[in-house]
Amino acid sequence: MMEQQQRHQYLDALGITSWLPQQPLSGAAPSEDWVWDFRYPAPEIPFSEGDYDDYAGDSSDAMLQPGNADPRLRPRPKKMQPSPQSREAARAMLAQTLGAELDAKPKPKPAAAAVASPQQPLTEPVTPAATNKPDPRFKLAFVQTGPLLLIDSLPTQGQDGFTEHHQNLAQAICSALQSGLPAFPPATLLPWPMFVSKTIDQGYEQAQIAIRHKLKRALVADVKVMLLFGEAAAQMVLERDEELDELRGAMFSYRPGIKALATRSLTEAMHVPGVKRDIWLDLQPVVKFLRNE
């Protein structure tokens, strides 16, 4: 896709306008996968720098240097695109951390996700999912700052919670979406199952009750947007069955006055090269929504 970005830069310099579809065209051949993610000009990633990059697998962004008041004003080195081998190795390492199987190759975006591109945000009511499901297992972190409520899907294995690296990245994302936010508060966690006992009902319905109770307390009066990072947060909060790739980048109406948007997890962003850029592309409907408020 980076080659396509460069091609469009050349065409733009020549005064030539090129067009790409924003949704599947009737009777046309299927478009390549990169078409649905393509943006021109490519948006900057304002949260691609910070001390969380010390921990991240995507460490190609330069660290802030003393004396540079605004990092956007200094020249940035050209980022090398990760090879398929490095991306596959990073995703394999993340799979062990999350305790879940991740595909080595990204899944192709279905037609529904293409309609939910940042140019045409999708708004639809949240419909309850079927309750005949296996007992869920997740760990969610809740952080509210200003009009934003962040819900991140954390690894279920190990004792680590919402670490300093998670908080730094989350704070950078929020600052990129809206300036002048209040001090970033500590996160509260909701692990599931909550009890070791097997005699207590901790199935899907009980998990939904716990999340609704948590949201009732977390959705204060000034919250306008919920940011759902990771598949567990997206599926459990929206109560939907679709995989994350089908929910990403779509603006949902959770309730009157409150929108919700799903994207990839912060843990994945800190381990897999290129994920921070994917998150910023997914967040474009939120950027537009907050600007119009």
Hey, what domains does the chain have and what are their CATH numbers? 111-292 (3.40.470)
Identify the pLDDT of residue 12: 67
Identify the pLDDT of residue 70: 42
Identify the pLDDT of residue 237: 95
Identify the pLDDT of residue 113: 43
Identify the pLDDT of residue 156: 87
Of the chain, the end-to-end C-alpha distance in Å amounts to 32
Identify the pLDDT of residue 108: 52
Identify the pLDDT of residue 171: 92
Q: What is the 3-state secondary structure (H, E, C) of the chain?
A: CHHHHHHHHHHHHCCCCCCCCCCCCCCCCCCCCHHHHCCCCCCCCCCCCCHHHHCCCCCCCCCCCCCCCCHHHCCCCCCCCCCHHHHHHHHHHHHHHHCCCCCCCCCCCCHHHHHCCCCCCCCCECCCCCCCCCCCCEEEEEEEECCEEEEEECCCCCCCCCCHHHHHHHHHHHHHHCCCCCCCCCCEEEEECCCCCCCCCCCHHHHHHHHHHHHHHHCCCCCCEEEEECHHHHHHHHCCCCCHHHHECCEEEEECCEEEEEECCHHHHHHCCCHHHHHHHHCHHHHHHHHHC
In this prediction the pTM is 0.63
Identify the pLDDT of residue 142: 95
Identify the pLDDT of residue 38: 65
Over the chain (293 residues), what is each successive 10-residue block's mean pLDDT? 64 69 75 67 70 44 37 44 60 57 47 43 47 83 93 86 91 91 88 80 87 88 92 94 94 92 95 92 94 83
Identify the pLDDT of residue 79: 47
Identify the pLDDT of residue 269: 94
